[in-house]
Amino acid sequence: MNQDMVMRARVMLLSTNMRVVRGVQGLWIYRTLTPVEPEVYGSKLAYVLVEASASPLVRDLPERRRALLDEAVAVATALSPANPFRDKVLAKALAARRREAEGRSAS
C-alpha cells in the first residue's frame, strides 16, 4: 500500500466533520484505509458501498450495483465476529443484495 495515499486518505478523513464520509470521496477514503486497518474502516466501507449501490449514478448500471453490493458483503464478512458493527453492516449488505436480485428476477 502506498503510504502517501494512506496519509492523504487520513488527512481527508480528519478534515471532514462527519461520522461517515459518503459518496465518491468516502469510497476512496475507506477503500484506501480498509486494507491498512480493516477492523476500523471495514464497516464504514461496507456501509458506504451499500449507499453507493442505491445512487442515481448507477441506477441504469445493474452490473455496477451488483459489484458494489458484492464488495460490501465481502468486506463485512471479512470483519471479525467480535467487531461490534459486523452483524449490522453484513445484514444491511445482504438485504440490499437480496433486493437487487429480486429486482432482477422481476424484470
Q: What is the pLDDT of residues 9-34, one digit of tens each?
A: 999 999 998 889 999 999 999 999 99
pTM score, two decimals? 0.92
Q: What is the pLDDT of residues 65-105, one digit of tens each?
A: 999 999 999 999 999 999 999 999 999 999 999 999 888 66
Neighbours of 97 (CB within 10 A): 19
In 3D, which of 105, 92, 10 has the Cα closest to residue 50?
Answer: 92
Total count of domains within the chain: 1
Residue 35 domain boundaries: 3-106
Distances (CA, A) of 85 to 40, 42, 66, 91, 95: 10, 9, 22, 10, 16
How high is the pLDDT of residue 103? 80
